[in-house]
Amino acid sequence: PLVRAMSYALVHGVYWKLLVWPTFLCYDYSFDAIPLVRAIGDVRLLLPLASYLSLAMLLCLSMDALRPHGGARSKTSRRTRQAPIV
């Protein structure tokens, strides 16, 4: 089960790399095109780690951009009345 999970993570990393930097595109992956990851210390696991971290960072940044910011700005914005945009 661990070999399968690490290999799936590697495939996710390869697809993320192809999404970001599509230099080598192949229309047909054969049986052993992406070899299995058999050890936890394999250097190739840095690719899915970087892809998962960048995806989490993009998710956090987008959630922060969509969230209304609280604090001192929200108290002052309640007191001041702004004209509606027509």
Among the ranges given (27-31, 35-39, 48-52, 61-65), the one the predictor scored with the smallest mean pLDDT: 27-31
Angle at 20 between CA 56 and CA 47, to 5 degrees: 60
Give residues with Cβ within 8 angstroms of 38, minimum separation 6: 3, 6
Band of the pLDDT at 84, cuts 50, 70, 90?
confident
For the segment 29-43, the average pLDDT, to the nearest whole number, is 88
Name the token pair of 8.
């799936």
Q: How many residues does the chain have?
A: 86
Specify the residue for token string 């299995």. 36
Share of the chain above pLDDT 70, in %: 85
Phi, psi angles (nearest 5°) of residue 45: -75, -10
**Half-sphere exposure (Cβ direction) of 48: Cα atoms closer than 13 Å:** 14
Is pLDDT at 75 greater than 60 in this prediction? no
Q: pTM (2 decimals)? A: 0.69
